[in-house]
Amino acid sequence: MQNLRKKFPVLNQCIYANTASAGLLSEDLMEWRQGHDLDYLIGGSDMKNKGFAHMPEIKKTVGRFFGCQPEHVALVPNFSLGLNLLLEGLSKDKTVLLLENDYPSVNWPFETRNFKREYVTIDANLEEQIHGKVKSGNIDVLALSLVQWVNGVRIDLDFLKQLKKDFPNLIIIADGTQFLGMEPFHFEDSGIDILGASAYKWLLAGYGNGFYLVKEGVMDQFELKGIGNGSVNNDASQRNNISFCKYLEPGHLDSFNFGSLEFALNFLDEIGLEHIQTHLNKLSKKAMDTFNGMGLLESFVLERKQHSTIFNIKGDKALFQKLAAEEVVVSPRGGGIRLSFHFYNTEEEIDAIAKLLKR
C-alpha cells in the first residue's frame, strides 16, 4: 500500500484521516478526467453521445464489482436522490424501523413522508434490538447505514443475512456509502434487498456519482413515479416498457461522473479488495487499541466484535483546531472528533496522531 500513497499528492501535505467526509482524488483519475474533457472539448455532442451509449458497460462494471446483475443496477448522482425517488413509490402503510441518529439522508426521507416508524439505539446490542423489533411482527421495512457516519459502528452483515432468512417479507434497505470499498461485498449473497451508495468516499470516485442495487423479489413492493426522457434512453416508444431501475434514472447520465465511477472501481479492482480489507483490519485494530488505551472511545464501541476504520474520539473544538494546525485533517462530529482511515493511511500516522493527542 505504501507505493499507492504516491498517487495521492495531498498525503505529502498532511495526515489525511477524513475519508468518511471525502475520499481523495488520485492522480490517475485526474488524468482520466482531463482526457475526458479534452475529448469533449474537441468532440462536442459526438463524444457525449458515445458516453451515453457507454452507460450499460458502466452498469456491468458496477454489477461485476458488487455481485449484482447489470439490469438491477441504477446509476444515480447520489444516495439521497435515489432514496427519495424510491420512497415516492412505497406505500405509506408500511412501518419502518430506523436507527436513532443514523445519517440524515437515511432517516429524514421516511420521517418527512410520515411513514409509521419505530427506532432502536446504536449500542453494543444493536443487532439484538433490531431482531427483537422485527420479531414483534409490526415492522415491514428496515432502513439503515451499514457503517455509522458518526462513530463507525458497523452492522453485522451475517446478521442481516440471517434476519432476511428468518423474516423473508421484511424489506431491508441499506446505505453503503460508508462501507463499500472497504472489503469484498457480494450483493446477491447478502440479506439486503436494496443497497444504495454515493461513491465519493471509500470508492474514491469523486462527487456526482452513485448507484442502487435492487433485488428482483422486492420490486413489486414499489410503484415508482420518477420518469423522464432518460428512463427510455431518448426512445419515446418505450414509454410503457420501463424497467424498475430506469425509473431511478429519469434524466441524462453524465459520462464525466459515471466514467469516474467506472475508473475508480477498476482502480480498486487492480489493488484487490482483499488486500484493502487486510490493511484496513490492521488499521482498525491499531486505532482501537491506541485510542482505547488513551480513554478516548465510547465504551460500547469496545464491546462490539467488529468495527470499521471510523472512530469518534473525545475532543472539543479547541482540540479539533489544534489538530488542524498540525496538518491533521479530521471532522468534528457528534460532539467529538471523527477520524477515518483508508488504505492510503498507515499505522505510523495513527501513532503520530496519538502523540499529538498526548501532547
pLDDT tens per residue across span 51-93: 999 999 999 999 999 999 999 999 999 999 999 999 999 999 9
pLDDT in the model for residue 3: 85
pLDDT above 80 (res 2):
no
Q: Is 158 helix (H, G, I), strand (E, B) or coil?
A: helix
pLDDT in the model for residue 137: 82
CATH number of the CATH domain containing 13: 3.90.1150.10
What are the b/e assignments for 116-137, b being 16+ CB within 10 Å?
ebeebebbbebbebbbebbeee
Same domain? For 298 and 229 the reply is: no
Same domain? For 157 and 280 the reply is: no
pLDDT in the model for residue 174: 98
State pTM to two decimals. 0.96
CA dist., res. 260 & res. 263, Å (int): 5
Q: Under a CB-based contact definition with an 8 Å cutoff, are residues 2 and 271 in contact?
A: no
pLDDT tens per residue across span 24-35: 999 999 999 999
Phi-psi sector, 295: left (phi>0), alpha (psi -120 to 50), beta: left
CA dist., res. 297 & res. 278, Å (int): 23
pLDDT above 80 (res 1):
no
pLDDT above 90 (res 179):
yes
pLDDT in the model for residue 176: 98
Domain-ending residue, one of 254, 270, 286: 270
Same domain? For 212 and 112 the reply is: yes
pLDDT tens per residue across span 248-303: 999 999 999 999 999 999 999 999 999 999 999 999 999 999 999 999 999 999 99
Which residues constitute the domain of residue 344? Answer: 3-26+273-358
pLDDT tens per residue across span 294-350: 999 999 999 999 999 999 999 999 999 999 999 999 999 999 999 999 999 999 999
Compute the average pLDDT of residues 154-158. 98
Average predicted confidence (pLDDT) for the chain? 96
CATH number of the CATH domain containing 115: 3.40.640.10
Domain-ending residue, one of 270, 296, 317: 270
